[in-house]
Structures are given as C-alpha cells and as structure tokens.
Amino acid sequence: MKVFCSENNVDYGTYTFNYAVYAIKEFQSELSEIYSKGFLPYTGNSSIESEIFYLARSLRVNLTEFEDTSENRRVNRLVEPLNIKLEVIEKAKFNLQDSDFKKFCADYINERIGEDNMSLERWDYILKQETGTHFFKFSNEEKVMGYVLTALNEDLVHYWFAFFDTVYMRSHSLGKWMMWSVIKWAKENGKKYTYLGTAYKPAALYKIRDHKGLEYWDGYKWNKEVKVLKEWCQTDLEPRIADRFKNEINPNDFINSL
C-alpha cells in the first residue's frame, strides 16, 4: 500500500492545516492492514483506476467482545417469522448481470439512496472493484429480501453496501437485522473484526447503540470509549474553532495518553 496526503482547508488563525489522507491498495492481500489503520474504500470518482481508501472515523466490531444485545434479540424475534436464509456467495461466482439482481439494487437506490448519492454507473464501478469479494444474500422461499456486498478475508468482513426490501424496513427492522446477521456470521466463522463504515453525525448512532464490542478509529488508535463516540456524533454538525487536539482543555494529558 502507498499512503499520500492531499491538502484541504487552511486556517492560519489557529495554525490548522488540514490534509485528507489516502491509501492506494496495491495488492488484495493488504486489505487487513489497510482496514486496521482506519481506512475505508473510496468510490466517489469512477474515473480513478486504482483502488483508493480514505482515512476516517471508521467503526468496527471486535468480535472477541461481541455478544447479542437485547435490541439484537428483539429485532431477531421480529424477523424470525419471515424464515430468511443466508447464503454467502463469492462475487466471482455471482451473476452480476442477472436482471432480477440489477432491478433489486436499482429499486433500492432510487427509493432509499438517490441518484445524486449513488448513480447506477457508480454502482457498476463499485462492483468492478477487487476489494468487494462476496455477497451475503438473504432470501426465503418466496423472494429475495436483501443483499450485502462485503470485503471478506481470513480476518475480517467489511459490511460495505446493503440493499434490502424496504417493505419490511419499518415493520421488521430488516436493515438492522441484516447488519446483525453479518456480524454474527463473522464471529461464528472465526473472523476478528466486522467493519461497519464510518461513524459520523447523529445518523450513525443506530450502529453504535445496537452492537457490543465496538471500536472506532480516533486518528491514532482503535478506541473503545463509546460514550465519547456518541458525543462526537451528536456534535459533528456543530462548527468548531479548530481541530479536536487544539480544543483539548488539557493537551499535555492528551499527549501523555498516546
């Protein structure tokens, strides 16, 4: 992997000079290292030929500490009557051109994500990325209920892009159940971590509230202080005078804790 920084905002008033940090994946065998350093795959520009990752407040479940919460059990009871079965399918063996699959994803994008955030062209670009290796397919005898595109290896599962039947979203919390199911599968199959994407803004709180064993990348290490993470998410949209380090009340204490 190669790491590079790209200049962003400049604030001479507080001597804050922001850089976005990226990693270039050179080999698929680097996935564990890349994820372990807080990077997540970037697919916002389909003209980029390399597989790029961005450094962010990434969220993961440490599976040695994962166990079901009361909320996990409640949602599972709601979904049980649907008799959903899980299949894990290698992307290389999955028919990406299947018309039913393409329509399922397109319908979800149009209804839940929006063309501005996820065009069908971008989805095709994502499907071509080597990083995504497997589909988790959820279905019962009547129909497909959902798909999750994941990055999966001997160490981890990255819950990357999920598509599900929105008819069951409110009545059965189907999206939450699918995320829990992937985490549970990862633990049962000897993985170390399940990565859940970023943890920013109040919209991310559902991931944080629902699962035990959570850790987030704080810029230096994987941090287990979930209470702090919730506070950060609640205040992410509020303007800050400077970066978090400069806003520390006791910066020496912070430095000594590293």
Looking at the predicted structure, is the pLDDT value of residue 53 above 90?
Answer: yes
Question: Residue 163's closest CA among 188, 126, 202?
Answer: 126
- Gap between the Cα atoms of 184 and 97, Å rounded: 29
Q: Which secondary-structure segment (H or E) carries 62? A: strand 58-62
Single out the residue of 17, 142, 140 nearest to residue 86, CA to CA: 140
State the pLDDT confidence band at 114, using cuts at 50, 70 and 90. Answer: confident
Q: Give the pTM.
A: 0.95
194 DSSP β-pair partners: 61, 157
Asked whether the beta carbons of 26 and 2 are under 8 A apart, the reply is yes
Q: Quick one: pLDDT at residue 116? A: 79
Mean residue pLDDT of the chain comes to 96
- CA angle 123/145/89 to nearest 5° reads 65
Q: pLDDT tier at 165 (50, 70, 90 boundaries)? A: very high
148 pLDDT more than 90: yes
- Residue 251 near residue 218, CB atoms below 8 Å: no
Of 191, 98, 94, the C-alpha closest to 148 is: 94
Q: What is the CA radius of gyration of the chain?
A: 19
What span, in angstroms and rounded, lies between the C-alpha atoms of 250 and 231?
A: 18
Residue that has been written with the tokens 């599972």 in this structure: 76
In this structure, are strands 134-139 and 144-152 parallel, antiparallel, or unpaired?
antiparallel
Residues 93-115 have a mean pLDDT of 94
Model pLDDT for residues 201-248, shown as the tens digit of each residue: 999 999 999 999 999 999 999 999 999 999 999 999 998 888 999 999
Give the pLDDT score at 228.
Answer: 96
Higher pLDDT: 60 or 170? It is 60
pLDDT higher than threshold 80 for residue 12: yes
One-letter identity of residue 127? L
Asked if residue 115 has pLDDT above 80, the reply is no
Tokens representing residue 29 in the block:
């065998």
pLDDT of residue 129: 97
Q: What average pLDDT does this structure show over 198-203?
A: 96
Give the helix ranges, DSSP H, for the chain: 31-36, 70-79, 99-108, 120-127, 169-172, 174-188, 205-210, 226-235, 251-257
Contacts of 37 (CB under 8 A, 6+ apart): 23, 55, 217
Residue 170: is its pLDDT beyond 90? no
- Return d(Cα 204, Cα 208) in angstroms, integer: 7
What's the confidence (pLDDT) of residue 241? Answer: 85
Residue 5 above 90 pLDDT?
Answer: yes
